[in-house]
């Protein structure tokens, strides 16, 4: 999970084609939402993707080229997220860029898992979960 505070940074250069740079160095997941995080995502009735123990993937951050277009929609709490056309499942948007209405199929996007969490008012037996989030496109 990514909970990092950057306290000092140095600019070492500019990358002209960031999508190509990333794709040359990592293997993005390619396909429907089911391929994310080693196929371990489960979904709430409202469509939010999450993982829980014992099904924890080997990594919490990756890149994805979705097989269908992604469309911006607000979830039942009014938070922005992206859904594949005709699919109730979605991934929350947490990026620093303003969200765009549409992300094309096969466009590289960055996805990650949020920290372990459960609602304060949850039943004692309710599991902690890491929810999927989308934070950028290239």
58 by DSSP, 3-state: which? coil
What is the pTM assigned to this prediction? Answer: 0.86
Cβ atoms of 77 and 83 within 8 Å: the answer is no
User: Strand (E) positions, 76-116?
Assistant: 80-84, 90-93, 102-103, 109-113
Kindly provide the b/e burial profile for residues 29-51, where b requires at least 16 CB atoms within 10 angstroms of the residue's own CB: beeebebbbeebbebeeebbbbb
Handedness of CA 91, 96, 99, 102 (dihedral sign): negative
Condensed to tens digits (0 to 9), the pLDDT of residues 85-115 reads 888 899 999 999 999 999 999 999 999 999 9
Cα separation, 131 vs 126, in Å, equals 14
pLDDT tier, 78 (very low <50, low <70, confident <90, very high otherwise):
confident
pLDDT tier, 9 (very low <50, low <70, confident <90, very high otherwise):
confident
Cα separation, 113 vs 129, in Å, equals 9
Average pLDDT, the chain: 91
Cα separation, 79 vs 111, in Å, equals 16
């Amino acid at each position: 999970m990514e909970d990092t505070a950057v306290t000092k940074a140095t600019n070492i250069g500019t990358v002209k084609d960031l999508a190509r740079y990333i794709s040359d160095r990592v293997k993005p997941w390619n396909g429907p939402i089911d391929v994310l995080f080693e196929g371990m995502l489960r979904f709430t009735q409202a469509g939010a993707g999450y993982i829980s123990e014992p099904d924890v993937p080997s990594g919490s951050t990756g890149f994805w080229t979705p097989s269908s277009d992604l469309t911006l929609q607000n979830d039942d709490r009014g938070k922005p997220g992206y859904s594949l056309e005709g699919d109730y499942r979605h991934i929350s948007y947490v990026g620093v860029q303003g969200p765009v209405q549409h992300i094309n199929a096969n466009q590289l996007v960055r996805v990650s898992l949020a920290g372990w969490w459960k609602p304060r008012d949850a039943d004692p037996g309710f599991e902690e979960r890491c929810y999927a989030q989308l934070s950028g496109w290239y």
